[in-house]
Copies of this chain bind each other. A is one copy, B any other.
Amino acid sequence: MLNQTVGQTISDETRQRVLQAVTELDYRPNRAAQGLRQGRTATIGFVSHDADFGEFAASAIKGAHEACIRQGNLLLLVNTGGSNRQAAHLIGDLLDRQADALIFAAVGTRSVVLPDAALRVPTVLLNCFAANDPVPAILPDEVRGGRESTQALLDLGHRDIAYLTGKPSQWATKARLRGFREALRGAGLNPAEHTVLSGNYHADSGYDLVRTLLQRNPPPTAIMCGNDRMAVGALLGLLEAGLRVPEDVSVMGYDDQFQLAAEVRPALSTVLLPYPGMGRLAAEQLAIGVPTSPGRTLVHCPVVMRDSTAPPARTRARS
């Protein structure tokens, strides 16, 4: 009766008696016992498959958590430290506790080996993908993000744009760079004439690469960075060299990192990586009754224009 089983009949009097007892005794059903009986624990396993447990995981978990709460589920969290062995092990732990479903998330978007055990329950890949797409995957549309942020700079009038990339081996790096080149070509420019320097997503690589860049003559009018941390490093390097942002050089970040991109001065123009939304989406895909969309779902990353970008000085002088 407490579960409102359909097609049940109960007298009003008894209902009152039951309800009163419930409040009097402060009765709360034991969900472990419920789970045992119904084979459903209202618990979703969240596997963070990475060495670090940082900004991304936190944001994605926040989103997933929100959706879960709405569905009456709770998140059982594990962190694999990036090890496949540990991943398989922990997924075992999750399944032993009868998790109803799994979210398998990576920080650096990449290809992962999904342990077989994960296929025993509904699973969604978050910010990663596996060979042959055995389960749905949710990914940011990095090519588009790279393209549209470059386009934003082109629209401002920039024609000499340098790109300080993140770690070249990463999927996201390649995708963003592809978008960068697509946009340049779309504007009738030759990508080969634009400087591309390889970094590693750390702030200091932004700093170092800017210094390398400034040895060139003349410097580009705009600089795209692999992420916001690199952009902050670039900002520091440019300022130190006596250049003003955005008056002398425009800087574009990526990620819209929480408590960084918007707070730095000048506030960074960047591309928003919607981690909370992706986490939410993952949890919603797992809700019972929702048809899972197979294959890869690309999530749009909108460009956010703030104060680190402006028309290039040449154009401005002319106007």
Contact = CB atoms under 8 A, between A and B. Distances in A.
A79 B57 CA distance: 14
Given A58-B54, A58-B55, A264 B97 contact: no
A54 B258 contact: yes
The number of times this chain is found in the oligomer is 2
A239 interface: yes
Contacts of A59: 53
Contact of A76 (B75, B92, B236): B75
Interface string A181-225: 000000000000000000000111001000000000000000000
A134 to B, nearest CB: 20
A281 to B, nearest CB: 17
A74 interface: yes
A315 to B, nearest CB: 23
A158 interface: no
A31 B263 contact: no
B93 A74 contact: yes
Contacts of A57: 58
What is the interface residue range for chain A against chain B? Answer: 35 or more
A9 interface: no
Interface in A243-262: 258-260
Interface in A71-95: 74-79, 90, 92-95
A162 interface: no
A263 B204 contact: yes
Nearest to A267: B204
